[in-house]
Amino acid sequence: MLDADPSARAANKSMQIKISAAEMPVLPELPAELAAVGVPFVPLVLDGLTITPWLNGNKIALSYRATAIRAVPMPVKATKGRDPINP
């Protein structure tokens, strides 16, 4: 994972997340709607995310684990005069 905040320190810009799944997860692709407006990152949902603190020398470190990874559901565009959820 990558933090896109330009004010983030270099040491804190990225992190690894271990996915403990029965099968190797496939990362979703960047949706065309986001690519069209210049979003460079794929938004993800991490199911079953746990964060475990542990001591690394004299510092507290964090371990990130998830059970699954999936794409963020994209909102449905409303069409004039039609309800996209209950057509």
Mean pLDDT over 11-30 rounds to: 84
pLDDT value of residue 63: 92
**Residue 87 domain-assigned (yes or no):** no
**Residue 31 domain-assigned (yes or no):** yes
Q: How far apart are CA 62 and CA 51, in angstroms?
A: 6
Q: Which residue has the higher pLDDT, 81 or 32?
A: 32
N- to C-terminal Cα separation, the chain:
38
Q: Which pLDDT tens digit goes with each residue over 34-83? A: 889 988 888 889 999 999 999 989 999 899 999 999 988 877 665 555 55
- Which is it for strands 68-71 and 59-66: parallel, antiparallel or unpaired? unpaired
Strand partners, 14: 2
| pTM exceeds 0.75 for this model | no
Q: What are the tokens at 50?
A: 């746990």
Domain of residue 16: give its range: 10-71
Please give the tally of structural domains in the chain: 1
Using alpha carbons, select from 51, 50, 75 the residue that is nearest to residue 62. Answer: 51
pLDDT value of residue 48: 94
